[in-house]
Amino acid sequence: MTPAGRPRRVHQLLAALAYGDAISNEALAIQGHLRGAGFESDIFAEGVHPRMAGLARPLWQYAEVSSPDTVCLFHFSIGSAAARLAFHAPDRLVSIYHNITPAEWFLGFHPHLAGLCYHGRRELAAFAPRTELALGDSEYNRRELEAAGYARTGVLPIVLDLSSYRAEAAPVVRRLFDDGRTNVLFVGRVIPNKKIDDLIRAFALYQRLFDRKSRLLLVGDTRGHEKYYDRLQELVRERHVEDVVFTGQVDDDDLFACYASADLFLCLSEHEGFCVPLVEAMSFGVPVIAYDAGAVRETLRGGGVLLREKEPAVVAGLMHRVISDETLRARVLKTQVRAIAEVRAIDFGSLLLDRLAPVLEGHA
């Protein structure tokens, strides 16, 4: 403890420090700000991506820093050893919640994950009495925390380092997709709640009715969800949709090239706890059309076009308007510039310390 009685050690626990992952990047940003504010702050992770080696300590070393005076920021994740450790450690616990996809989304495609998600939500409730403070990265997530029985909750939005998007885009991918075709982009894991099937349906009509020379770029990891991916491939074949590209997980420079080549970002996901790609698309100046589900409205901050229904023909018509009507496109982009300005204006360091104040000031 510091002389003023404030805890001096604020460490983070998470299941995995992954490369190109918003949660991992947020953990690193939190660490940077905490260290800047004079706290001892390390990241302890169960798994560390080779590219992130050296940025996190192994989970078993947490015993060396664990004490009733240590504040543990635990990034909630399902079925991890980090969760068991956080629960049983004597530390003062702050849970950071990035959402758990409701189990029913995986029932038909990934029963094991459905089970994990189901138990994950029960585990979330079990953490409530143990947690001093719970932070959701959106108001939507905060409300879920409240519903799970957490007494003290707050919102700590994911704030992206927008300057990192100025890095050079991969020239090969840029050339590959900048071939005169209209590129409709979606970025996100290929999982059922993202409703990639709805994207394919809307795109099928768009391609057929408005633009034969168009391409649907689906950028995101398919691993672990092969069954859903199989069904999507079937849908593409049966509906005779041309040029649907599943890129799988890509490196950052490839991702930037996809954004740079995109004419439209379309998101018809039905469950989102935050949806980082929406912010990325807006910061790349790609007009966004997104279905109003979960935290999407919050993340868009009034930018882009927000859908209240997603009848494929209407979505296709709207896609055509946003892509081809220069005036409409410019106005939509203007809303996005405003939204991105709001994101830029957030002082994440101050916000973090403000949100953690109840625990750091020792008033809990």
Partner 1 sequence: MSFEIGAEGIDVERLMREVRETIEEKKRAGLLTEDEVREVTSHALHPVLLPHDLKSGLLPELLEQPSRWNFAFDADTVYRSSRGAAGRALEALRRALRPVQKLFWNPTPMIAALSRQKDVNSAYAHLLHNLVLEVTRLNLEIVDLKNRSLQLQARLDFLARREKTLESMALGPRAAPEREDGSA
Q: For 7-64, where are the E strands, in sequence order? A: 10-17, 43-48, 57-58
For partner 1, which stretch binds (CB under 8 A), given 82-90, 305-313, 346-354, 355-363?
Answer: 305-313
Contact between 206 and partner 1 by CB under 8 A: the answer reads no
Q: For 66-161, where are the E strands, in sequence order? A: 71-75, 92-97, 133-136, 153-155
Residue among 213 and 334 whose Cβ is closer to partner 1: 334
Interface residue with partner 1 among 17, 86, 204, 343 (CB under 8 A) is 204
Least Å distance between CB 301 and partner 1?
8
Q: Distance between CA 168 and CA 162 in Å, rounded?
A: 13
Tell me which residue has tokens 């050893």: 81
Interface residue with partner 1 among 102, 317, 349, 358 (CB under 8 A) is 317
Question: Measuring CA to CA, how many Å separate 84 from each of 8, 274, 331?
Answer: 24, 25, 49
Least Å distance between CB 261 and partner 1?
12
Contact between 189 and partner 1 by CB under 8 A: the answer reads no
Residue among 152 and 208 whose Cβ is closer to partner 1: 208
For partner 1, which stretch binds (CB under 8 A), given 80-88, 121-129, 137-145, 198-206?
Answer: 198-206
On whether the CB atoms of residues 114 and 102 are closer than 8 A, the answer is no
Task: Give the count of residues interacting with partner 1 (CB under 8 A).
Answer: 56
In the numeric block, which tokens belong to residue 225?
């969800």
Residue among 330 and 364 whose Cβ is closer to partner 1: 330
Closest CA to 290 of 262, 268, 318: 268
On whether the CB atoms of residues 317 and 324 are closer than 8 A, the answer is no
Closest CA to 183 of 263, 266, 281: 263
Interface residue with partner 1 among 84, 88, 334, 344 (CB under 8 A) is 334
Contact between 353 and partner 1 by CB under 8 A: the answer reads no
Tell me which residue has tokens 């927000």: 306
Q: Distance between CA 211 and CA 171 in Å, rounded?
A: 26
Residue among 209 and 364 whose Cβ is closer to partner 1: 209
Question: Measuring CA to CA, how many Å separate 265 from each of 31, 224, 282, 284?
Answer: 32, 25, 9, 10
Site residues for partner 1, window 74-113 (CB under 8 A)?
107-109, 111
Residue among 160 and 257 whose Cβ is closer to partner 1: 257
Site residues for partner 1, window 217-256 (CB under 8 A)?
226-235, 238-239, 245-248
Interface residue with partner 1 among 318, 340, 343, 360 (CB under 8 A) is 318
In the numeric block, which tokens belong to residue 338?
């405003």
Contact between 181 and partner 1 by CB under 8 A: the answer reads no
Q: What single letter denotes the amino acid at residue 359?
A: V
Question: Measuring CA to CA, how many Å separate 259 from each of 47, 150, 286, 341, 357?
Answer: 29, 38, 7, 19, 38
In the numeric block, which tokens belong to residue 209?
């009715």
Q: Distance between CA 244 and CA 51 in Å, rounded?
A: 30
Residues that bind partner 1 (CB under 8 A): 107-109, 111, 171-173, 175-176, 197, 201, 204-205, 208-209, 226-235, 238-239, 245-248, 289, 302-309, 311-314, 316-318, 320-321, 328, 331-332, 334-335, 338-339
